[in-house]
Structure 1
Amino acid sequence: MKYIIATILVVLILLTLPNKSTKMNTLLPHKTILAFGDSLTYGHGASYDESYPAHLSSLTGHKVINAGMNGETSDEGLQRLPKLLEDKSIKLMILCFGGNDILRRQSMDALKNNLKTMIRMAKAKEIDVLLVAVPNIGLFGLTPLELYEEVAKEEKVPLLDGVLANILSQPSLKNDQIHPNALGYKQMAEKIYKSLVENGWLAN
C-alpha cells in the first residue's frame, strides 16, 4: 500500500512541476533571431530597412534574419524552413504565416498543421518559437482566428495576438488593406520586442 501511495505522490509532484517546454532561454549576445514568414515579415509596403526584422535588430542588438517571402503560403514556407534552420546560431524563431492562406481561401486545417510542423522543426533544433497571429480578413473587417491560440496551446509556445489586427485597423499605420507601412512595421517590431522581454528571451 505504501508503494502505491508513494507512486501517487510522485505523479502529483510531476503534474505540478512547470512544463520545461514552456521555459524560454535568454538569448546570448551572439545568438541569432530568425524572422520567418511571408510579406508581413519581408516588409512589403516599406523599404527593406523599414521592415519589422530591421527595426527589431536595432531594438534588441541581435542579428535578425529577415526570412520573409512575398506571396508565400504556409505550404511553401514549410518546404523552405529546413534549410534556414541549419544555421546553428539561430536560437529563436518568430513565426508569422497565414495571410496568403486566408486570401487564397486555402484550408485552415492545413494552415494549422503547417504551423505546428514548423514549430516542431524548430524545437527539434533547440530553437524557441514566438508565434504571431494573423487576423482573418473578411467582408466585415479583421477578426481573430482561433487556430493561432490552439496552435500555441497545443505546441506550448507564446502567442503574440492582436498586434497585426490593431495596426491594420489604423489607416495611419497601413500601406494597404493587408500590409503595414513603415510606421506600422516599427510598431510591430516594438510589440514583438516587448513580448521577447516579457517571455524571458531578452533582459529588460
Structure 2
Amino acid sequence: MSKIKVITVLLGAIMLFTIMTKERDSNSLHIKLHSDATILAFGDSITYGFGVAEEDSYPAQLQKRTGIRVINGGVSGEESSEGLERLPKLLEQKPDLVILCHGGNDIIRKRSDEKLKTNLTKMVEIIKASGAEVLLVGVPNFGLLGFSTHSIYAEVAKETEVFFEEDVLSKVLSNNELKIDYIHPNAKGYKIIVDAVVKYLKTVE
C-alpha cells in the first residue's frame, strides 16, 4: 500500500473516531426518557414548593412542561439524614430519573458538612442501585455575603459521576424578584429551575 493510501486510511479513521466521540459526548449531556417515564423530584421544602400554590411548585411545572409524570417527593424542614431514611420507599415507585435537591436544612442549621456529604453520596448510590438516573441540584451555602453553591455538591457529583446542575438554585435565590423569602423561590423562580432541568432531558421514542 502506498504512503498516500496509508495516509488516506488513517485520516478516514481519525475523522470517524472524531465523529463518534462527538456523538457520544453529545448523548452523555442528556438524560434520555421515554414519554411514559416517571421522574421523582426528591428533596425538602424547595422541592415541595413551600409558600406557592401546588401547581407552581417546580415538580408540577416540570410535569406540565414535559408531559412526563413527576412525583413530588419534597418534605418541608427535612434534613438529609431523614431524607436518606425516606428515599427507599419512594424508589419503590420505580422512577426512571431522580432529581435530588437536598441538604438546605443541614446547611442552614450548620450540621456537619462531612455528614451531609456522606448522606448525599448514600442517596445517590441508592438511587443508582435502583436503576434510575440521577440529576443532582446544587444547594447554596447560605451566608451573609450572598449565595454560592456549596462545594460539597460538586464533590459528590464528581465522585459519583452523576448529572449535575450546579448554579440555578443559587442564581434564583440571589434575586429577590424570584423568591418569597430568604430561602424559597416563588413561581417565577421555580420556572427558571424547570428551564435549567429540562436542558438535561431528552425524550425518546
TM-score range for the pair, normalised by the shorter chain length: 0.7 to 0.9
- Aligned residue in 2 for 1:191: 196
Match of 1:142 in 2: 147
State how 1:162-181 maps to structure 2 within 5 Å. 162-181=167-186
Structure of larger gyration radius: 2
For residues 173 and 25 of structure 1, the distance between their equivalents in structure 2, rounded to whole angstroms, comes to 27
With the length of structure 1 as denominator, give the TM-score of the two structures: 0.83
Counterpart position of 2:60 = 54
Query: Percent of pairs identical after alignment?
Result: 50
Runs ≥4 residues deviating over 4 A: 22-25
Name the structure 2 match of 1:182.
187
State the alpha-carbon separation in 1 of the partners of residues 31 and 105 from structure 2.
31
Q: Indicate the RMSD between aligned Cα atoms, in angstroms.
A: 1.8
**Cα distance in 2 for residues equivalent to 1:138 and 1:82:** 32
| Amino acid in structure 2 at the alignment position of 1:41 | T
Unaligned runs of 5+ in 1: 1-16
Per the alignment, residue 97 of structure 2 pairs with 92
Shift of 1:171: 1.2
1:87: how far off? 1.1
Does 2:117 match 1:117?
Answer: no
User: For structure 2, which runs of at least 5 residues remain unmatched after alignment?
Assistant: 1-20
Deviations 1:47-105 (A, max 9, x none): 111000000001111000000000001000000000000112x1000000111001111
Q: For the Cα contact (< 8 Å) 2:46–2:74, is it kept in 1?
A: yes
TM-score w.r.t. the length of structure 2 is 0.83
Matches of 1:162 and 1:122 in 2, distance apart? Answer: 22
1:2-26 CA-partner distances (Å, limit 9, x unpaired): xxxxxxxxxxxxxxx98xxx78662
How far apart are residue 164 of structure 1 and its match?
0.9
Count of aligned pairs between the two proteins: 180
**Corresponding residue of 1:68:** 74
Distance (whole Å) between structure 2 residues aligned to residue 25 and residue 63 of structure 1: 15
Tell me, what secondary structure is at the counterpart of 2:136?
strand
Q: Is the 8 A contact 2:43 2:75 kept in 1?
A: yes
Name the aligned partner's letter for residue 202 of structure 1. T
CA distance in structure 2 between the partners assigned to 1:184 and 1:133 by the alignment: 15
| Distance apart, 1:202 and its partner CA | 3.1
Q: Distance in 2 between matches of 1:73 and 1:34?
A: 18
